[in-house]
Amino acid sequence: MTLRYGREVLAMPGPTNIPDSVLNAMHRPAIDIYSGPLLEVTERCHEGLCSLFGTQGHAFIYAANGHGAWEAALSNTLSAGDEILVLASGRFAINWGATGESMGLVVHTVECDFRDSVSPARVSERLRKDTAHAIKAVLVVQVDTASGVVNDIPAIRAAISAAGHPALFMVDTIASLGTMTFTMDAWGVDVAVCGAQKGLMTPPGLSFCAAGAKALAAHESAGLCTRYWDWTFRRGTEHYHKYCGTPPEHMLFGLDEALRLLQEEGFDKAIRRHTLLARAVRAAVEMWAKGGVLDFNVAEPDARANSVTTIRMAPPHEPSRLLEFCRDTCGVTLGLGIGGLPGFRIAHMGHVNAPMMLGTLGCVELGLKALDIPHGQGGVQAAVETLAEGL
């Protein structure tokens, strides 16, 4: 039999659950793109994004997924043959670097352990070797969605400054913005990228690039710049230019409502909600791990993300069986292991609350039991206690 009928829960790290009010905001006729209310929507979205990024700089909105924002960040600031340094934490920074390589950039890498965060000392050490300052940009993710690692962005910034290196600092916040603190200007980040479909609770299809003064200055001589991504063109006065063509208006209606929801809750409170729900998930995993089969992917507790928890499963146990059970019998979709993770992922990002997370944990625990996967007892109980103490 199955227990899946009822509202399904998406506990994969993107796309994430979309609030009904965001869906409803999109359910309306198309409107004029040259004048009227859409211009205000654009303005509110730009302002909302800048305040979420924590910048006085500019935010650009692309009709693209996160891969598009990666390309926008690089093409607007760099020229063919420029060197970049990729802090290869998890999977996504490596892929961002590969995007750069395909555009004609020369990629250098600081290798990282899949189970640990970027070491700022190693960043500093690598940059000190670049005495000619050939490296033009340093790329890192705040949260890697494959490994579940969170990187210490201010510490990495400090490491770049300690090496006296002038490279642009670019941060991918696709799996972190809205779920943990990020303050672009205060942290000395030059370019930040994000996508709509994770912490921002909007359907996939929009991505964002925020640029500070140093990045905008580099943009003046960026040889890789092409019309679609071009920051200068998009800063033109015509509304139509801000999207380099027809605005993705329904996506914008959705984003506008999602940003309103975040503002209504308060960014700080949204971060506290994510922090506590993440702690509850980790409390459950800690209990399950006592069975000797499951374990955290991220060894260091401080390096575990607020938005996704990555769990290893020892062979011969098959994570796919647990994922299928949770989806087909319970109506919860978990994240499969990607980037070489031998296990699965539980997302706790965006439109999530206590019943959704306790329900998800309960279903995982049910699956572990039903499938005879050895695990320590009391995971859900530990999550409940964590929530009770943390409120």
Ligand X SMILES: *Cc1c(COP(=O)(O)O)cnc(C)c1O
Q: Which residues bind ligand X (CB under 6 A)?
A: 14, 65-67, 92, 141, 144-145, 172, 174-175, 195, 204
In total, the chain counts a number of residues equal to 391
* Min CB(94)–ligand X separation in Å: 11
Between the alpha carbon of residue 390 and those of residues 134, 151, 153, 301, 363, the distances in Å are: 48, 24, 26, 17, 23
Q: Which is nearer to ligand X, 93 or 361 (CB)?
A: 93
Q: Which is nearer to ligand X, 195 or 350 (CB)?
A: 195
**Which residue's Cβ has the minimum distance to ligand X?**
66
Tell me the one-letter amino acid at 346.
I
* Min CB(176)–ligand X separation in Å: 7
Q: What element of type H or E holds 85?
A: strand 83-88
* Min CB(178)–ligand X separation in Å: 12
Q: Which is nearer to ligand X, 67 or 290 (CB)?
A: 67
Q: What element of type H or E holds 357?
A: helix 354-370
Q: Which is nearer to ligand X, 270 or 330 (CB)?
A: 270
* Min CB(174)–ligand X separation in Å: 4
CA distance 219 to 224: 10
DSSP code per residue over 277-304: HHHHHHHHHHHHGGGSSEEES-SSGGGB
CA distance 355 to 186: 35
* Min CB(65)–ligand X separation in Å: 3
* Min CB(141)–ligand X separation in Å: 5
Q: Which is nearer to ligand X, 124 or 307 (CB)?
A: 307
* Tokens 């994922």 -> residue: 323
Q: Which is nearer to ligand X, 159 or 175 (CB)?
A: 175
Cβ distance 210 to 59 under 8 Å?
A: yes
